[in-house]
Structure 1
Amino acid sequence: MVKKASESLVVMTELVLPNDTNNFGNLMGGRLMYWMDIAAALAAMKHCAAPVVTASVDNISFETPIKIGNVVHIEAKVTRAFNSSMEVHMNVWGEDAIQQYRYKSNEAYYTFVALDPNGKPRSINALEPETDDEKKLFEGALRRRQIRLILGGKMKPEDADELKALFVK
């Protein structure tokens, strides 16, 4: 079965309370990563209709801090499905509801693995991107996967054909 990327979209909203902040009144990075993990897992589960576990977290870039009292919006969507794993891209937005403006806080890629009833990896649905943005993320996902596999010691750099294509003519 093939599913559309849009079918996995999850938008999670949280209010930044005092217990969520550091000494500077900014949302703690660890708390944000926790919320992002939940949103990404929900998107992955929507795609594969199975329990999932986080396999990797990479490229979390913190651009703008989110202040106490602001709202956090996490948009998560599956970008590509492989055999049993899938990549989820997230954009995080802060919102000052009083001043009524929204700002980009960060983005990241998480990888999840779908599990069967015995807790073993299981095959998942293929993914079909529709929009130009979805197609761009879909195409880049294979290269990002190869980087993750190399860094994790599961692939030799010389076997990363998609990455070699970027540098070797």
Structure 2
Amino acid sequence: MPTLSDTHIRNRYRVQPNDANNYETLHGGELMKWMDELGAMAAMRFAGETCVTAGVDDFGFHRPIPVGDTALVDAYVYRAGKTSVTVRLRAWREDPRTGETERTTGSSFTFVAIDEDRNPVRVPELTVETDEEERLLREALEAES
């Protein structure tokens, strides 16, 4: 059975002018797209199947990410149903010169595992083994409330 750590993925995206809104900060829709893509990768790593987005919960923007900075996006599976998985997604603004980070965004996305005919298929149970995995699970569950 896959562990929470098996699904943990982190990626960086350099914020370019074509990613920005008229305030010269990252467009929220662009960040949501990046988070959706990374969340799907975490879900597929967990399920071993193609996964498609079924829902997005509580997508909160706490601060902007300016052009020239890096969007650091983090994803991991924290809940498994019969055919669906829930992925915690977080984003930070990262200064590429100093490495300084500041939390900007948090959300949970639900993905459904599908087969070649696009029918839902069962997913495995999630295993949480380490103290770090327990901490991440608690954090994701607390964010839901």
* TM-score normalised over the length of structure 2: 0.91
Is the partner of 1:4 in helix, strand or coil?
coil
Aligned partners of 2:5, 2:42: CA distance in 1, in Å?
10
Contact 1:114/1:123, CA 8 A, preserved across alignment: yes
What residue in structure 2 maps to residue 20 of structure 1?
19
Aligned partners of 2:65, 2:85: CA distance in 1, in Å?
28
What residue ranges of structure 1 are gaps of 5+ in the alignment?
145-162, 164-169
User: For residues 18 and 55 of structure 1, do their structure 2 counterparts lie closer, same or farther at Cα, with a shift above 3 Å needed?
Assistant: same
User: For residues 57 and 125 of structure 1, do their structure 2 counterparts lie closer, same or farther at Cα, with a shift above 3 Å needed?
Assistant: same
Aligned partners of 1:76, 1:57: CA distance in 2, in Å?
14
Post-superposition offset of 1:99? 4.4
User: For residues 128 and 137 of structure 1, do their structure 2 counterparts lie closer, same or farther at Cα, with a shift above 3 Å needed?
Assistant: farther
Aligned residues: 141
Which residue identity lines up with residue 48 of structure 2 in the other structure? A
Q: Which has the higher contact order (CA 8 A, sep 6+)?
A: 2
What residue ranges of structure 2 are gaps of 5+ in the alignment?
none
What residue in structure 2 maps to residue 133 of structure 1?
135
What residue in structure 1 maps to residue 7 of structure 2?
8
Which residue identity lines up with residue 107 of structure 1 in the other structure? G
Contact 1:12/1:74, CA 8 A, preserved across alignment: yes
Aligned partners of 2:137, 2:62: CA distance in 1, in Å?
24
The percent of aligned pairs where both chains have the same amino acid is: 32
Which residue identity lines up with residue 82 of structure 2 in the other structure? N
Post-superposition offset of 1:103? 0.7
Post-superposition offset of 1:134? 3.3
Contact 1:27/1:68, CA 8 A, preserved across alignment: yes
Aligned partners of 1:13, 1:135: CA distance in 2, in Å?
23
User: For residues 135 and 15 of structure 1, do their structure 2 counterparts lie closer, same or farther at Cα, with a shift above 3 Å needed?
Assistant: closer
What residue in structure 2 maps to residue 151 of structure 1?
none
Superposed CA offset, 1:84-128 (max 9, x none): 000000110111122441110111100000001211000011001
User: For residues 137 and 82 of structure 1, do their structure 2 counterparts lie closer, same or farther at Cα, with a shift above 3 Å needed?
Assistant: farther
Is the partner of 2:21 in helix, strand or coil?
coil
**Superposition RMSD on alpha carbons, in Å?**
1.7
